A and B are shown apart, each in its own frame.
Chain A
């Protein structure tokens, strides 16, 4: 009896297929649509930055934002509810919305800024005190943008005078 042509689903094939499907779902644009099952702040931050952020980083970012502005959590919740109610699928569609521009744009910018700058608040140059709250240095998205061309400033990952030659695009 020849079973050569009978299609069978082996465990290996099943795991491979599952991984591919999961990866596709994770990386597709809708992956960053507001996820109602996870922590609201994490879901909102991921939606606004379009980046995979971990819980610890988001918690720290919101803690800093709240220290700068005690009402920030309310503003974030309002923005979160608006996105969910209007069923926005991505930041691209949200940023064109007139009501968002009027009511929630500053809140969204504050959230995005934390993940790109690594701190909340506004620095005052040459002042001993300002309202800046440190969040992270190594995890900021700005460094990830240039990761291909340069290490995180202050970290030596290449070789002496590597910057002498322009990076190839």
Chain B
């Protein structure tokens, strides 16, 4: 019995030892893969893949987010490892080609709403980590997209994108810049690649391609103005300290400078706040080396404007002409900026635009959004409000939306009223100028002015086709006549 027990004990002991050693081996074999997935996840955060490829937070990377572009609606694809609806059947080479060149395994082309023009410089090591993360670290979501990309003529024609790529994609070899430090070179790799700052912050030409002559000189993102982030002291970020830039990217706010809204708030929510400090520092250090680009219309740094106009209490506390029950009290159609500001904004931002004492509500004086000569972001902030998730250092940031389309908790303002209140803000707290009308608000709501070629692309394309057919007909007729003459 004892010997039998010993025998069993030996067998079980050996089995246990073997099992333990196997599990250790397995763990050791798994750990590099885990690290790779972890690295890939971090790289996906750097690339802010979640922001575009997630329409609903409970279905990460399942796609479906719509991008209203001048050439139609582009829908972000499902990039989960779903074999039927996502990228589950893609090889690493397929993945790399899609991310870096914008070409799917079936040969079809992605549109540059996907920043493959920037991702082209991602190195092989990082692509490997990203691929592993999306294949093994992401839950597959087997759902078809409710809507697919719908582009207008002629952008829906096959063969357009290869020509565009040929003309406008840049060299994918990022060279080490000896004039920059190690950290700045890392920053360059991130800014030009994964964090794809240029996608929004560089203006685009008539063909919707980035104008690299104006690199980071200010562009458009989802209708918002993506400010100049070159080292120019007036138009750019030349007047920001390294600490201010770092804090802005980490928290979405730099006191006395700016507070993020719109797409930049998303970028901070999903990406920048989660980055390693050394990567944020690298990005900031590199941005400070970008050659300055000046906007002559911007006379002072946007954050330097203080109270331009004295606020008079009687301007916003209108005296009732009749008794307290008069229609005066029920009139919500006023386009008096002082009344609108003090009814809708002053409660939080203060009568003098001073904001909260701890600046949890930002001041409107010395505020980049208010002081910028381009009013787009100020208008869109009023129209859409601000929704920034809590970061490690900041609580949730909320400002109500005031447009009819966006508001949920406040009575809306008409386009004329939005123009009036924006003018009041810029006149009193910004550069002292009033520049907007209701028509301008309509244009900003529609995403700004569309490049001429894009706006009239269908007409130009049709005229091109007609001209082509005519030329072919003329040449055909000429050949036919010559042939007829020879035969006679």
Asked whether, in the complex, the Cβ of A156 is within 8 Å of the Cβ of B317, the reply is: no
B113 CB to nearest A CB, Å:
38
Chain B, range 405-461, C-beta contacts under 8 Å to A: none
Question: Closest chain A residue to B320 by CB distance?
Answer: A134
- Whether A155 lies near B360 (C-beta < 8 A) is no
Q: Are A132 and B324 interface neighbours, CB within 8 A?
A: yes
Query: What per-residue 1/0 map shows which CB atoms of B64-100 lie under 8 Å from chain A?
Result: 0000000000000000000000000000000000000
Residue of B nearest to A119 (CB): B324
B395 within 8 A of A: yes
A74 proximity list for chain B (CB < 8 A)? none
For A162, the closest partner residue in chain B by CB is B357
Does chain B have a CB within 8 A of A149?
no
CB atoms of B325 and A129 under 8 A apart: yes
Q: Is the CB of A158 within 8 A of B356?
A: yes
B346 at the interface (CB under 8 A from A): yes
Interface size of B by Cβ–Cβ distance < 8 Å?
Answer: 21
Do the beta carbons of B348 and A156 come within 8 Å of each other?
yes
Chain B residues with CB under 8 A of A132: 324
Complex contacts, B351 vs chain A, CB 8 Å: 138, 155
- Given A138-B313, A139-B313, is A157 in contact with B350 using a C-beta cutoff of 8 Å? yes
Contacts of A139 in B (CB 8 A): 313, 317
Answer whether residue B26 sits at the interface, using C-beta atoms and an 8 A cutoff.
no
When distances are taken between beta carbons in the complex, the residues of chain B under 8 Å from A133 are: 320, 323-324
A138 to B316, alpha carbons, bound, how many Å?
10
- Within 8 Å by CB of B324, from A134, A136, A158, lies A134
Q: Contact between A160 and B313 (Cβ–Cβ < 8 Å)?
A: no
* CB contact between B317 and one of A129, A137, A158, A159 (< 8 Å): that residue: A137
Does A1 belong to the interface (CB within 8 Å)? no
* Residue of A whose beta carbon sits closest to that of B329: A134
B319 close to chain A: CB less than 8 A: yes
Which residues of A117-144 are within 8 A (CB) of B? Answer: 128-130, 132-139
Flag if B324 contacts A157 (CB, 8 Å): no
B318 to chain A, nearest CB (A): 10
**Distance (whole angstroms) from the CB of A79 to the closest CB of chain B:** 24
Contact of A155 among B314, B319, B347 (CB under 8 A): B347
Instruction: Tell me, rounded to whole Å, the shortest Cβ–Cβ distance linking B288 to chain A.
Output: 32
Q: What is the CB-to-nearest-CB distance from A113 to chain B, in angstroms, rounded to a whole number?
A: 17
A155 contacts B350, CB within 8 Å? Answer: yes
The yes or no answer to B358 lying at the interface (CB within 8 A) is yes
Question: What residues of chain B lie closer than 8 Å to A130, measured between beta carbons?
Answer: 324
How distant is the Cα of A60 from the Cα of B361 in the complex, in angstroms?
33
A contact set with B: CB distance below 8 Å:
56-57, 60, 63, 128-130, 132-139, 154-160
Q: 9 tightest A-B contacts by CB?
A: A159-B358, A56-B314, A158-B357, A156-B348, A159-B360, A139-B313, A136-B317, A159-B356, A60-B319
